[in-house]
Amino acid sequence: MVIHMLAPMAEVVGVKFIEADSFPRLHAWVKNFSEQPVIRDNFPDYNRVLEFLRTRREYYATLSQHNH
pLDDT digits (tens, 9 = 90+) for 35-47: 999 999 999 999 9
> 24-33: buried (b, 16+ CB within 10 Å) or exposed (e) per residue?
eeebeebeee
Give the architecture-level CATH label for domain 3-66.
Up-down Bundle (1.20)
Q: What number is the average pLDDT over the span 14-38?
A: 93
Is 26's pLDDT higher than 70?
Answer: yes
